Copies of this chain bind each other. A is one copy, B any other.
């Protein structure tokens, strides 16, 4: 993309309403614009990252054998009466009537809707196991929306639901989700720690939240420092293998890690003192096993192997996709701006032309631009007629991991400058070597 043809409305001033870094930086970098309280438009660069995260979520869910679909944003109140949640859910649920006076709501979650689909179409245990999921907009009418997309009202979320014949099968689905979530977050450059959590209005006993450590996190967390040394890495996993998924669950949940909701001082005290940590965390996902709560209330049964009807065992599993962008920025920024992890960066490399209009500099930039495109990478070329300082400030603010600076002086010596956003380190390289180096970094992801 050529910046002269893009829409990247960066702000020079720091918006007064933004209290935390991610909110401030998303506004300054022209990623979002508030439409009304807690509701945002996603400007082109913000949307590009949102879509990238959505695609990573899809890829990892499909890899785990889960099936994508899509439910509507608006639901009828009837279904929620069946589960008993229409009255139980608080004023966070946006309720209204349509022109025919039917009671409707903007879905904050979809246990009822998916159970309704399941019971209409699945009759036999032979059709299990089944995990359906979607990535869709949801609404929760927060009393005090704040922190930008971190606690917005309209938000983009992946929600998945497993249907299994037995508790044992459903717990395998639970473990499978935990593994797929670990992979998902790592691909986004995040360490998200599964912590024993409270189930809240979804219900159920087995539940873990995934938390990214960050000073601005809404939850206080307590953990054994050994847990931060675990990585999923590039290990192979067979999602059909109960043993393999169970082993990952045990590896990642056997050390103490809890939010304040479930924290237990007595158990925590058993962790060696030098490994006990207290910090703050941002919740970016949660998995639940809740058994037959919804299937019994809503009559979602299958014919079992013995011919008798059995209510299915269910769980639900969520990733806050729009909120993840805030979490990634909270964990990856400095005074100058955002520092995108390579796995989610909106553009792979920035190209700064120090002297727009200079024949050789322009030609060298064009040639770099085309070379990156030919390698399937997306460069952002700052081809505006601006001074170098302004171009550098914009690149630092929007946080592309790699920047190539091209100027007449360097070109005379046959070099361009390659700068790493995270370390700030620069090196002079031939244009060809710079291309190879950047391409190699992305190829290795």
Interface residues of chain A, those whose CB is within 8 Å of chain B, are: 5-7, 9, 30, 33, 35-37, 39-44, 46-48, 50-51, 65, 67-76, 91, 94, 96-100, 102, 104, 106, 113, 116-117, 120-122, 130, 132, 134, 137, 139, 141, 143, 153-154
Contacts and interface: CB of A to CB of B under 8 A. Distances in A.
A116 B43 CA distance: 12
A311 B97 CA distance: 38
B154 A102 contact: no
A161 to B, nearest CB: 11
Given A104-B36, A141-B98, A41 B117 contact: yes
15 contacts: A5-B65, A6-B67, A7-B130, A7-B132, A9-B121, A9-B122, A36-B76, A41-B70, A41-B113, A51-B68, A72-B137, A74-B139, A94-B99, A98-B141, A99-B141
A304 to B, nearest CB: 19
A70 B94 contact: no
Contacts of A141: 98-99
Given A47-B134, A99-B143, 4 more contacts: A39-B72, A39-B75, A46-B70, A72-B154
Nearest to A114: B41
A36 B69 contact: no
A187 B36 CA distance: 38
How many copies altogether? 2
Q: Is the interface of A mostly helix, strand, loop or mixed?
A: mixed
A91 B99 contact: yes
Contacts of A74: 36, 39, 106, 139, 153-154
A40 B112 CA distance: 14
Contacts of A73: 73, 137, 154
A236 B66 CA distance: 40
A212 to B, nearest CB: 23
A69 B47 contact: yes
A35 B154 contact: no
A94 B97 CA distance: 9
Contact of A7 (B35, B67, B70, B76): B67
Nearest to A65: B5
Contact of A43 (B47, B117, B154): B117
A58 to B, nearest CB: 9
A386 to B, nearest CB: 12
A177 to B, nearest CB: 17
Q: Which 5 A-B pairs have the closest CB atoms?
A: A96-B96, A9-B121, A36-B76, A42-B70, A47-B70
Nearest to A104: B36
A6 B46 CA distance: 33
Nearest to A9: B121
A72 B47 CA distance: 11
Nearest to A78: B36
A36 B117 contact: no
